[in-house]
Amino acid sequence: MTTSAPGSVPPVIRLLADPVRWRLTRELARGDQRVRELVAATGQPQNLVSYHLRQLREGGLVTARRSSFDARDTYYSLDLPGCSRALAAAGSALHPALGEMPEAAAGPRTGTGRRRVLFVCTGNSSRSPMAEALLRHRAAGRVRAASAGIRPKPVHPDAAAVMLDRYRIDISRHRPTHVEAVASQRFDCVISLCDKAREACPEFSGRPARIHWSVPDPASGEGGLAGYAAFERTAGELDARIQFLLPALGGTAVGAY
């Protein structure tokens, strides 16, 4: 996002001041969505929703990528780290002290009330075990994390290498799990990490909050990178999303953040 001249209104404030754009960013803060879902959520016509999404993309707050399940579909994502930086800069323009973003809550306290989160992807070989391990690492015992796949296969060696190199987390012994094997377990939140998994996920016991993160498959070359670099980027994206998820897990309504 471009910076504003001294005395002018910061771009992020101008963007979010529009009621439709504010509603769209609120919806996307809950997870990645398609245009038709945003149309239904906002009650606005598709051409208006598309116009405002374009404005948010040009302003650097929202990104888009083609669905890996149906290439005719596009998933829109809110760039939470980018929003955080832009809002901090806008606050600083108003008063220097407002530029210091407060530390986010780390999540629920330990004990029997710990939130249970399940990550689901296609193979349970890279994205979901990486996310499971990163949430456990960031939550430090305050959240119970698990992962599963719709077509499980062994953990990818590059996924294990990146997690060990960047985070000192060993996932090499991860055992792939089929999503049907855990569907009867109680989870507070189920997060699908690929578009195919979102469409193929079964119904879960207890009606957990459902969130979708449209994360490219690092093993397929989606997103323009391949090999170790693709897995490194995926780990970074998952880690950033998880750090913003943690404060929401401390709330009373996980799916409403």
Q: 252, exposed or middle or buried, with CB in 10 Å at 0-12, 13-18, 19+?
A: exposed
Per-residue pLDDT at 7: 64
Per-residue pLDDT at 251: 55
pLDDT band at 153 (very low <50, low <70, confident <90, very high): very high
Percentage above 90 pLDDT, the chain? 72
Domains in the chain: ranges and CATH = 11-99 (1.10.10.10), 115-256 (3.40.50.2300)
Across 194-219, average pLDDT: 92
pTM attached to this predicted model:
0.86
Per-residue pLDDT at 3: 56
Residue 196, token pair as written in the block: 């195919």
pLDDT digits (tens, 9 = 90+) for 232-255: 999 999 999 999 999 888 754 454
